[in-house]
Amino acid sequence: MTTARESSTGRRTDQDGPTVVRRSGPVLLSEVAAHAGVSLATASRVLSGSRSVGEPHRGRVLAAAQELRYTPNAQAQAVARGASNVVGLIIHDVLDPYFSSIAGGVMREVEERELVVFLASTHSDVDRELEFVQTMRSHRVRALIICGSRTTDRAHNERLVHELEGYAAAGGQAAVISQDRLGTHAVVPQNRAGARELGRELVRLGHRRFAVLAGPRGLLASRDRLTGFREGLAAEGVDTADLQVLHGDFTREGGERLAAQLVAEGSTATCVFAVNDVMALGALAAFRAAGVRVPEDVSLAGFDDIAPLRDVVPSLTSVRLPLAEMGARAAQLALDTEPQTTSQTVRVDAEVVLRDSTRRLA
């Protein structure tokens, strides 16, 4: 066996052996063409499946490609073709079932079209969100999907809109899953209406004194759900002036902390509404730890109806959102809409699902 070093150009070493092909770096189309004895153009045509290929040649190119283990350079293809086949997806956290369910829906739709997805998680950091949008722009993603509640942070919103305008101007399609505030396509869960209906149902169960475990004040999803919940209570004749509202993180830990606080304060609420399910799960754990029984001592309701809810006892009352479908819908909006079209908004209904965690009061 020869120990001949390869030429510094990193190209193939010419040897007299049969087909001993040592090389560094991927196989090139030009090599396939040469190996098949045709021009680069014809090789490109048969492998790109474009059109018109002579049968003596066609087969030889295919054979050469297979033998050489040729894999086209998607990046170069995208540059030459002027359009990439990747979709960007920005979420807060893969570990959060809310986001992973949506991601699942997006990916199903994306993979169906033989595209690839860039996934980035902001961990609720607005600066990272902005960075990722830039990164996605840079990679010329043909569609960009941003999910996660918008906030009242005007400065951030403006920068984001600015960035998205640049993206759109360059021919990119974007869709958000949350509130319709960015001038892009939008899949908008009916947070307010859903929470309103939940409020009404809970009052109908006989509850009058409520506490709400809310997210950060600037988070629109939390805000909308709180507003809707208030409306629901009011619609059923409950005075919401003294509604107890605690603000914390939009996470399991947030819910845990707030519920503990509720217990410590000796809240007299008979029913607690956590504005999302992960917070509700945290609250459930805190109540359990404090010896407060759900629903005997206090009723508990969440929002989103995430998958892990299936495995908790008592089963948790929630407001169902078709998460996977929302993701899929957003992907459709971004992928199947003609550029230069006015952006569309898809409203998604939320449905109250009463379960064991909310009891009927005597």
Residues that bind a copy of itself (CB under 8 A): 23-27, 69, 71-76, 78-79, 82, 84, 86, 93-95, 97, 100-101, 103-104, 107, 111, 116-121, 134-135, 137-140, 162, 166, 169-171, 281, 284-285, 288, 307-308, 310-313
What values do phi and psi take at 226, rounded to 5? Answer: -65, -45
Integer Cα distance of 188 and 326 in angstroms: 9
Q: Which does 103 bind (CB under 5 to 8 A by kind): a copy of itself, DNA, none?
A: a copy of itself
Shortest separation between residue 217's beta carbon and DNA, angstroms? 40
Binding string, residues 57-76; x marks residues near DNA by CB under 7 A:
xx-------------xx--x
Shortest separation between residue 154's beta carbon and DNA, angstroms? 31
Residue tagged 């170069």 (tokens)? 76
Beta-carbon-side half-sphere exposure of residue 13 (alpha carbons within 13 Å): 14
Helix axes 55-67, 29-36, angle to 10 degrees: 130
Nearer to DNA, 58 or 320 (CB): 58
Binding string, residues 6-45; x marks residues near DNA by CB under 7 A:
-------------------xx-xxx-------xxxxx-xx
E strands in the chain: 86-91, 116-121, 143-147, 173-177, 185-189, 210-214, 244-247, 271-274, 299-301, 318-320, 345-348, 351-353
Prior bond of 72 cis (ω within 30°):
no
Stated as kind and residue range, the H or E segment containing 10 is none
Prior bond of 295 cis (ω within 30°):
yes
Residue 170 in the binding site for DNA (CB under 7 A):
no
Nearer to DNA, 118 or 218 (CB): 118
Shortest separation between residue 78's beta carbon and DNA, angstroms? 8
Integer Cα distance of 246 and 254 in angstroms: 10
Residues at the interface with DNA (CB under 7 A): 25-26, 28-30, 38-42, 44-45, 47-48, 50, 52-54, 56-58, 72-73, 76-77, 79-82
